[in-house]
Structure 1
Amino acid sequence: MDFIEIVVLALLQGLTEFLPISSSAHLILPSEIFGWADQGLAFDVAVHVGTLLAVIAYFRRDILNLIGGWLTTGFTRTPNADGRLAWYVALATIPAGVAGLVLDHWIEANLRSVEVIAWATIGFGILLGIADRKSGQVRTLASMTLSMALIIGVAQALALIPGTSRSGITMTAALLLGLHRVDAARFSFLLSIPLIMAAGGLKTLELAQSVLPVDWQSLLLGVALSAVSAWLCIYYFLAFISRIGMLPFVIYRLILGGVLLVFFV
């Protein structure tokens, strides 16, 4: 990979991991437009590490509070708000984890096409718009229930379909359940941590078994760029989402999906 490829792909991964616009749709464009080869397993691990570092750094206080609440009250009859939310994040991760283990190879073989990505980008973009428009936005994370967390977790499993967007589908479910936009986004971002850790861990195991040489300089650049872009993405998304809503992202998804269908299918 040359310098331009590293910069473009790392920035795309960092920005699209947390915006509700589908990282799959964006990462396929450089290969289709410029004929770039697949970035390879090592670089994939690197940019996932970068996005993981970003979300942990941004939510470090929340994470410490969740861990503290879980350890001190999580196994009592009346866990505090942090202990309860920690359980919700953990339990909501299970559906996507199980679905990934069972369906990953089938999806890789049957659904990873430009056409599927394009239609998923459009379809789930429309659903995001409906959820944002119809949402009462009357609930906060403090009022979240176990059933709400599990519904969001099941929705997250749909993100295995390329083009869906993990952040997009979890925010869609959260909005349909009545959460405020910012709280929907915060829960989506917290929910990404165990999933990115699991995915990154599996890819790291694959990488450890590989005999291909590793370009550490490229990997470190990929980690740095994806981490910085992901952190900025989270910061500005949470700062502006309550004012701008989801409509700009819905319109963007419709345009992106249309471009994929017209020019690349």
Structure 2
Amino acid sequence: MDWLIAIVLGALQGATEFLPISSSAHLRIAGLFLPGAEDPGATFTAITQIGTELAVVIFFWKDITRIIGKWFQQFSGRTDRSDPDVKMGWLVIIGTIPIVIAGVLFQDLIRDQWRSLWITATVLIVFGIILGIADMLGRRVHTLETTTYRHGLLIGLAQVLSLIPGVSRSGATVTMGRTLGYERPAAAKYAFFLAVPAVFGAGIYETIQAVSEPTSIGLGWGPTIVATLVAFVVGIGVIKWLMDWISRRSFLPFVVYRIVLGTALLIALGAGWIEAL
């Protein structure tokens, strides 16, 4: 049974990680329907996210390797420091710092209180509405080439909110990007780049912790690895679909989905059909 659950959760992780609907919230909700109604947990979520970030690396391989290569070349003088790829490398570093600090400071909250379904339901609705407003009113004057260090830091600060299940990493960063006037594809692409070091860092950290404390991983190593591989395969397809979608359409369907899902959770919690923790 654990293997089947792992496949389902891995597919769910891959399908929701890049959409602004919160993969951690969906894994948390999925736990309600697992045998024993168990939360998959923050450790399982962080490890399976390694699979989805591998999908980002593969999909944007040329961009990522070019950025990394030129970032290092600046120190030998082979690439000018004003090069857009060098600048993007610094932007990712600057934007990653806030979530690293927050992840260390708020570990206990991330693993416990912030996983309450009351919080998840509320932020699904609230941040869904904020995304809708930002997407509707946001200008389309900035591209990746015009990204400033100030904007990079602000989007990085927005990424910190993704530590709360229900906010969504892509949702928070894209919302900030649209608020600052970035085109949808540019906001999404920077969100993808920004997530890579943060998610890999969290995943590797949780993997090391799980080695020393095996019970924290829930389903066990075998099923978790399978879930991570499934998340990788599904994630590649979702990235391609999303980039095609936002080049022609808005985020409105995701906004509506978040509000409906959050409202349904609040009703279920209020009626006592499900427990918050």
TM-score, length basis structure 1: 0.92
Give the secondary structure class of the aligned counterpart of 1:111: helix
Alignment of 1:43-122 (within 5 A): 43-44=44-45, 46-73=47-74, 78-122=81-125
Kept after mapping to 1: 8 A contact 2:124/2:259: yes
Kept after mapping to 2: 8 A contact 1:112/1:162: yes
Q: Which residue of 1 aligns with 2:182?
A: 179
State the Cα distance separating 1:22 from its structure 2 match.
1.1
Kept after mapping to 2: 8 A contact 1:73/1:79: no
Greater alpha carbon shift after TM alignment, 67-76 vs 240-249? 67-76
Number of residue pairs the alignment of both structures matches: 265
Kept after mapping to 1: 8 A contact 2:10/2:48: yes
Structure 1 residue runs of 5 or longer lacking an equivalent are: none
CA-atom RMSD in angstroms: 2.2
Amino acid of the structure 2 residue aligned with 1:63: I
Q: Which residue of 2 aligns with 1:201?
A: 204
Please tell me whether residue 258 in structure 1 is matched to residue 263 in structure 2: yes
State the Cα distance separating 1:39 from its structure 2 match.
3.5
State the Cα distance separating 1:12 from its structure 2 match.
1.1
How far apart are the structure 1 equivalents of 2:23 and 2:234?
A: 14
State the Cα distance separating 1:162 from its structure 2 match.
2.2
Greater alpha carbon shift after TM alignment, 223-232 vs 113-122? 223-232
TM-score, length basis structure 2: 0.88
Kept after mapping to 1: 8 A contact 2:28/2:39: no
State the Cα distance separating 1:209 from its structure 2 match.
0.8
Kept after mapping to 2: 8 A contact 1:46/1:222: no
**Cα displacement string for residues 164-218 of structure 1 (whole angstroms, at most 9, x for unaligned residues):** 1111000000001111000000000111100111101111111221356985543
State the Cα distance separating 1:14 from its structure 2 match.
1.0
Task: Give percent identity, aligned residues only.
Answer: 38
**Cα displacement string for residues 50-90 of structure 1 (whole angstroms, at most 9, x for unaligned residues):** 11211111111111111112012268774300000010011
Residues 42 and 131 (structure 1 numbering): CA distance in 2 closer, same or farther, change over 3 Å?
A: closer
Kept after mapping to 2: 8 A contact 1:74/1:84: no
Q: Which residue of 2 aligns with 1:25?
A: 25
Greater alpha carbon shift after TM alignment, 213-222 vs 139-148? 213-222
